Every structure is written in C-alpha cells, then in structure tokens.
Amino acid sequence: APSSVMGPSCFRAFSRPSLSWASLFSSSDAWRNASSLNCIRDWLCQIALVFGDRILLDHTNVLPEVKKHLPLADVVICSTSGEIYKNDVHDESIVVTGIYLEHTALAYSVGNISAFSNSYELGKYVAEKLDRQGLSYVLLLSDGNLVNGTELTEAVKNALDNEVTVTGGLARDAARFEKTIVGLNEDIKEGNVVLVGFYGDRIKIGYGLKGGWEEFGPERKITAAESNVLTEIDNISALDLYKKYLGKYAEELPGSALLFPLSIKAKEDDVPVVRTILKINEAAKSMTFAGDMPVGARVRFMKADFEKLINSAGEAANKASVFSAAQPSLVLLISCVGRKLVLGERIKEEIASAVKFFPDAATITGFYSYGEISPQRAGSCSDLHNQTMTITTFAEL
C-alpha cells in the first residue's frame, strides 16, 4: 500500500525476499515525491548510489538528506550529464538509489589522481585495497576529466587478474567541460575514483553493451600520439583531418565531437571500441580522448544512425539478460552523453528500448557519462568504451 511522504523529502522503495531498492528524486534544489511504497528495510540499506548534475550536487546538501532516510548507507556520488530514473531521462536533477542486500557484503576503495603519477598507478592502488577473498563483482565510478579511463580500467582488471567482472562509468559535467566529481560519503571531489566490491556467491550480475554508430570513410593509422592525446593520423594533423570530416560542425568543437566519435582497433584482430573526444588544443593541433590512442592503432570516423542507436540499447539489454538468468531487481544503465546529444528528444526511446527486457518491478537507474566500463562479451575482460549503452543487472538469490 502507498505510504505517506517522509518529512520534506519523499522516496520510492521496493521490497524483495532479499533486496530493497529505494530512490529519492530532487530537481531545482527541492526534493519531491516520486511515489512511495512501504518497505520495512529502507533504513537498513547498506549503500546509496547518487547520480546528479554537478552544479546541483555542489549546491545541494545531499549527504545529510540521504542519510536521514538511509542512515546506515554508505553514499557513493557521481556527477552526470543526465540522470536515468525508471523509463525517463532527467536533467539538472539528482537520483538516489538505496540498496539493501541480505546475503552480500560490500567493501569500498577510494583514491585521487592528485596522489599518483598516472591513472594506471591510481587504478592499481584502489583495486589492491579491495580484499580478493570472495569478491564477485566491482562497480567502478571515476572522475571523467582528470583520469585516463583506459589506464584506470586496465590497472583495475590486471590487479584483479581479469577474474572479477567490473562495470561502471566516468563522471560527466553536463555539457560544461569544467570538472567532474565522484566521492564516498564526505570525500567528494574532483579527481576521485571509487570502487564498490560485492562479496559472496548469492549476488548475480548480468552485463551487456552495444554502440550502434556507423563507420564511414577509409581505415586510417595513428602515427603520432601520447597516452590519450592524439596528434597525427596518417602522418597529417589529426585535428585538421577531423575538422575536414566535420565540415560545418567543426566550428562547434569540442562539443560537436561527441556527435562524431572514432572507432579504434589497437590490433588488427581486436574488436573495435569507440573513443570520444574530451577536448582539443588548437596550438598543438591535438585532440584529447577519454581513453588511450596508441600509435599504430587503426581508426575510422563514425556518425550517428538514429534507429541503430535506439535499437542498440535493446541489444545491450538482451545481452545482459542472457548473461544472467536471474530476474534482476535492479538495472543500472550507463550511456554516453554523445548518444544523448544525437538523439535529442528521442532519448526516451533509447531507454524504452532497453527496459522492455526487464521485469516491470525492477528498479531502473543510471546516468549519462564520459565513458562506460564493461566486458564486451561473456567471458571477456572489462574495457573502457565510449558512445555505448552499457547495462548491468543485479539479483540476489
């Protein structure tokens, strides 16, 4: 039966034999009702995932508000470029999902890029802080501006011997390109990486991803780059070549780069991954990407196909369903902001394409990111992706 509003804030909760998911919704600095159901275990939730607009997170007293309703929960915060709640996408809002797990233990690890020489060392540090005994799954949330997502992901999966499924995403700052924030409880700041470890064999994780972008033009070779900074393709200026392909959209860089990502293969027989441009340097004629751009890698330009983008979200959801036979109680969607910009008013169709594969009672949450982390297929290692829809499903048996 519906329950009453709890003080000035309101929330939604669902109960399961071993799970409880709760969500708060805030917009324009005012918490409001998203409808509620009684759940005796709300106050027992061990973790709250907070996805929200960075400016709103900076100016909203989020932590005390969440702790008021979920007093035992550790609060994990990540700034976004749009928040996913149920079958809708919100902007300039905060979505909180509280999780109660009856048979699964949690552990946390936090690090900041300012304390390390590179993102690989940061990833190694946070991964090695987690106890490996009984570790089943890791949720990774990272700063999306200062941290090299490729190095970070590579370090985490290597430290875990590629035996533990890792999914997650890079924080985003709407369309501002200023800073992103990630944190655990009071430690919320730029440059942070947070890992959440799930322990035990009762937690069942499914995952899937798909892009849907269309490659065009010839395959080209990276001839000059350092880490995630690309300077030459086929021995000519990468930025000049990119502007040539963008045409009129070149005047809108770096924002328009989200509409035209690159497909990259580090090795000839690799499955291509997509890379998004974070910023450009006109003086150096370079482009900085969300992941590494190794010299010798093969690249192709990409463009949007509306129907393929929308349908790919459903394909990602179908993969997640196949990889985990358990009916999920929670579904985490992390999609790229470039998809959001391309689809515009049709963005809800992407979400609808995905959620139709899951039970009506499942809680749907997530956000739009700078980069998405997930295995490409069953049994493969986790990698950083851009411009994809990635889906992680959670069930506890």
Closest CA to 300 of 220, 239, 236: 220
pLDDT at site 380: 65
pLDDT at site 80: 95
Tell me how far CA of residue 376 lies from CA of 388, 389, 390, in angstroms: 11, 11, 9
pLDDT in tens, 1-46: 222 222 222 233 333 323 334 444 555 445 544 434 344 456 788 9
58 sits in which H/E element: helix 54-59
Cα separation, 337 vs 18, whole angstroms: 34
pLDDT at site 15: 31
* Paired tokens of 390: 């990635």
Detail the DSSP E strand segments found in 243-282. 262-265, 273-275, 277-281
Distance of CA 110 to the CA centre of its chain: 17
* Paired tokens of 247: 């045409």
What is the mean predicted confidence (pLDDT) over 260-269? 87
HSE-up of residue 386 (Cα within 13 Å, Cβ side): 26
Cis peptide before 294 (omega within 30 of 0): no
pLDDT at site 38: 40
Residue 206 reports pLDDT greater than 60 = yes
pLDDT in tens, 277-299: 878 899 999 999 878 899 999 99
Tell me how far CA of residue 382 lies from CA of 45, 129, 139, 140, in angstroms: 28, 19, 11, 11
Cα separation, 150 vs 380, whole angstroms: 16
- DSSP characters for 324-379? --SPPSEEEEEEEHHHHHHHGGGHHHHHHHHHTTS-TTSEEEEEEESEEEEESSTT
pLDDT in tens, 304-359: 888 999 999 999 999 998 777 678 989 999 999 888 888 889 999 999 999 999 99
Tell me how far CA of residue 211 lies from CA of 4, 89, 282, 391, in angstroms: 42, 19, 29, 12
pLDDT at site 373: 96
